Amino acid sequence: MTDWLTGAALMLLGSVSLSALELHVSPTGDDGNSGTLKQPFASLAGGRDAIRKLKQAGPLTEPVTVIVHSGSYFLPQALAFTSADSGTSAAPVTYIAEACGKVRLSGGKVVGGWHPVTDPGVLERLDEKARGHVEVADLASQGIKDFGKMALRGFGPGYPVAEGEVFCDDEPMTLARWPNEGFRKATAKTDDQTVIVDTDRMARWTKEEAAPWVMAYWHFDWAEMYEPLIGFDPARKAILRDPNSKAVFGVTPADVRWYISNVLAELDSPGEYYLDRRNGKLYFWPPKAGSVAAFSITDGLVLTEGLAYVTFRNLILEQCRGTAISINQGNDCKVVGCTIRNTGQLGVSVSGGMRHEVRGCDILFTGCGGVSMSGGERTTLSPANHNAENNHVHHFARRARTYHPGISIAGVGNRIAHNLVHDGPHMALTAAGNEHLVEFNEVHNVVEESGDAGAFYVGRDWTQRGNILRYNYWHDILGATGYGGMTIYLDDQHSGYTIHGNLFERCMQSVFIGGGDDNVVTNNVFIDCWKSAHLDDRGMGWQKPATDDPQGELRRYLRAMPYTNELWRSRYPTLVSILEDDPGVPKRNVFSKNLSAGGKWEDIAPNIRHLQTVSDNAVFDKDADWVRIVRDAAGHLQRLEYRDAAALNKLGFQDLPLPQMGLVGDATRASWPVVHPVRQVEFPRQ
């Protein structure tokens, strides 16, 4: 942590602690103490229980601050809060670290007792180059006996709590796999359970005592599966899948990408590990001398039900099998300036309630997404006003590779603002529902493992309207395979979004509208993008059967909303008659006052172009240098420079607020400055 950040945290601590009521927690404390500075509690639970006792004597009359002193706190189970632990608007409760980055709430136990491997049988199975590097520790002798369960996961079966994992030097390690990076291909199949693959290493795997697992995209590039194998046929180079482990879309050899894991014989590089579950022995190749490894034990770290006016601030939460912080119902709870890392599922989950906030956090190495917030009532269009702001989310979705964004909101009236999201295999952001606001974010280097996917993705619902995406900076988004990566992807007739004032730089397909209505694309800048704007007529062609199907998703979702009542009619007047107005025919989309330089401006289906408004756009397909981004010495966005600003002014184009895009260096940030290397992408020129 920087000196600035530590000082800011202490300054905040002083401001939060102005009340007379302070409680203290220390690793050297005792929960039987009084909670003073000289007699601190030993745990956050001690502070929580003391506040409960205070409230038994009457309502809180002043703010309460629980100061958590530097050190590590192992949580054998989630720290649970109920409505009984709530503050009020006049007397909120805050759990705050004494110094930012110095308090760890961990669900993992440090593993010791490492020694070289001497078992001849194990040495024989290890790759020759690994034999002098792999160490072993007896977990059972250290009291670690719950290893968790390796469970089927992926598109279809879902994403359960993780098994115990190894984390070392604050990063996740890799369950021994082959190849060490990337994927291999398939060449043929006998059936969906017998797949011929391109490897001659299979004889090594037949000696494994436990079932190897395979991670594969069996058909689509956006539908992965992680499953155990039941065997191999080395003579045919075939992997044998469990008949009960069905891929949702079957197996198409030409599209298959796969790797194998949970194989001791493939523990052949630094950072890999293998757990012998039967004997409780952990094998590990440390990434460097002196590395400290931990094994995750606890499912979640903080769990709230009906909690109100409580803030968790400047804490590190790490090494759990599930979601680090789960906030259910309640109101006005905040997670501020925390570092959340190395989780088996989400970083923070908010479900229901009102006005919850995740602000200024660093969230990384999560098993699923980073932040998920849902709330608000769609039938009445009543907002929840949840807020995800100024967070740095990166290297997310380690275990759930698709449809688990860095930040997601759902319901009605929630916000994603000033966040930085990067290094993800699939989606970065999503806002499902109505009346959401996504603004001033920076997103880059996502959709890194998938295709036909979007950095921002929503799809297949006529009713999710009134959402605004404005003043975001999207850059270096390519997609890994297949159809490539879209940036803003309104899939399968999704409708009623406003996309205004965004900056797109080096994006494959920037705004991709899959046949929807009433989308507004205005005042955006596209620089050196392969395609800037796309609108197709899928609802009139290959998707028409789904459009017309009374039991299909589009019509079922429509029936689920009171779209003809007075409230919905006033908000979304064109939705009322959608079934009588050629459903599936895209109408009333607006593309106006945009600037596109380099690449191709638009790809609008000619047969529906007359049903849209396409006007007053400044287009320079062959001249990416017509507009230039100006940055300061630190690389922060400052302004745009145009070759002919007067011409833009005549169109009514307005300058973008570039300095406001992305993270804000205020005292709520968990770290500052933030360094995030950008990998510039390249795509074929048209």
Is residue 509 domain-shared with residue 621, that is, in the same domain?
yes
- Report pLDDT for 480: 87
Is residue 212 domain-shared with residue 158, that is, in the same domain?
no
Q: Which is nearest to 374 in space by CA: 404, 394, 354, 360?
A: 354
Contact yes or no for 480/182 (Cβ under 8 A) = no
How far apart are the C-alpha atoms of 322 and 159, rounded to whole Å? 10
| Identity of the amino acid at 82 | T
The secondary structure of the chain in percent helix, strand, coil, rounded to multiples of 5, reads: 15, 35, 50
Q: Nearest 10 degrees: CA dihedral of 193, 197, 202, 205?
A: -50
CB-count exposure of residue 182 (10 Å: 0-12, 13-18, 19+): exposed
Is residue 208 domain-shared with residue 151, that is, in the same domain?
no
How far apart are the C-alpha atoms of 546 and 542, rounded to whole Å? 9
Q: Which is nearest to 292 in space by CA: 319, 317, 264?
A: 319
How far apart are the C-alpha atoms of 225 and 229, rounded to whole Å? 12
Which residue(s) pair with 295 in the sheet?
A: 109, 166
Is residue 510 domain-shared with residue 609, that is, in the same domain?
yes
Q: Is the dihedral of CA 636, 638, 644, 648 positive or negative?
A: positive
Residue 31, in any domain of the structure = no
The total number of structural domains in the chain stands at 3
pLDDT in tens, 484-511: 899 999 999 999 999 999 999 999 999 9
Phi and psi of 70, rounded to 5°? -55, 140
Is residue 133 domain-shared with residue 199, that is, in the same domain?
no
How far apart are the C-alpha atoms of 682 and 392, rounded to whole Å? 25
**Domain limits for position 200:** 177-266
Is residue 254 domain-shared with residue 118, that is, in the same domain?
no
Peptide bond into 179 cis (omega under 30): yes
Residue 304, in any domain of the structure = no
**DSSP secondary structure of 596-640:** EEEEEEEEE-GGGGGGSEEES-EEETT-GGGEEEEE-TT--EEEE
Contact yes or no for 229/239 (Cβ under 8 A) = yes
Contact yes or no for 638/632 (Cβ under 8 A) = yes
How far apart are the C-alpha atoms of 74 and 603, rounded to whole Å? 55
Residue 424, in any domain of the structure = no
Q: Is 291 helix (H, G, I), strand (E, B) or coil?
A: coil
Is residue 137 domain-shared with residue 232, that is, in the same domain?
no
- Report pLDDT for 592: 98
How far apart are the C-alpha atoms of 391 and 401, rounded to whole Å? 21
Going by C-beta distance under 8 Å and a sequence separation of 6 or more, which residues neighbour residue 631? 637, 638
Is residue 488 domain-shared with residue 560, that is, in the same domain?
yes
Number of H helices, E strands in the chain: 8, 56
3-state secondary structure 313-376: ECCEEEEECCCCEEEECCECCEEECCEEEEECCCCEEEECCECCEEECCEEECCCCCCEEEEEC
- Report pLDDT for 13: 41
How far apart are the C-alpha atoms of 395 and 325, rounded to whole Å? 18
Is residue 479 domain-shared with residue 576, that is, in the same domain?
yes
Instruction: Count Cβ atoms below 10 Å from residue 84 Cβ, excluding itself.
Output: 12
Q: Is 553 helix (H, G, I), strand (E, B) or coil?
A: helix
- Report pLDDT for 105: 98
Going by C-beta distance under 8 Å and a sequence separation of 6 or more, which residues neighbour residue 15? none
Strand 387-389 to strand 467-470: parallel, antiparallel, or no bridges (unpaired)? unpaired
Is residue 206 domain-shared with residue 141, that is, in the same domain?
no
pLDDT in tens, 632-648: 998 999 999 999 999 99
Is residue 123 domain-shared with residue 253, that is, in the same domain?
no
Residue 437, in any domain of the structure = no
How far apart are the C-alpha atoms of 320 and 318, rounded to whole Å? 6
- Report pLDDT for 12: 39
Alpha carbon distances (Å) from 652 to 497, 505, 517, 522, 593: 21, 22, 24, 11, 7
Peptide bond into 673 cis (omega under 30): yes
- Report pLDDT for 686: 61
- Report pLDDT for 581: 94
Alpha carbon distances (Å) from 537 to 454, 515, 516, 534: 19, 5, 8, 10
Mean pLDDT by 10 residues, the chain (686 residues): 35 43 97 97 98 94 97 97 97 95 96 96 94 96 96 92 98 97 94 92 90 95 94 93 88 94 97 97 96 97 98 98 98 98 98 98 98 98 98 97 97 98 97 98 96 95 98 96 89 98 97 98 97 97 96 97 98 97 97 97 97 98 95 94 94 97 97 95 78
- For 220, half-sphere exposure in the C-beta direction (CA atoms, 13 angstrom radius) is 13
Residue 46, in any domain of the structure = no
Residue 566, in any domain of the structure = yes
Residue 434, in any domain of the structure = no
Q: What are the structure tokens assigned to 315, written together?
A: 């804490």
Phi and psi of 5, rounded to 5°? -70, -45
Alpha carbon distances (Å) from 380 to 367, 384, 431, 464: 34, 12, 18, 13
What is the distance of C-alpha 276 from the center of its chain?
A: 31
How far apart are the C-alpha atoms of 19 and 14, rounded to whole Å? 10
- Report pLDDT for 484: 83
């803030």: which residue's tokens? 311
Is residue 114 domain-shared with residue 261, that is, in the same domain?
no
Alpha carbon distances (Å) from 107 to 48, 323, 396: 19, 11, 19
Alpha carbon distances (Å) from 259 to 93, 273, 488: 48, 16, 30
Q: Which is nearest to 399 in space by CA: 181, 221, 149, 158?
A: 158
Q: Is 234 helix (H, G, I), strand (E, B) or coil?
A: coil
Residue 527, in any domain of the structure = yes
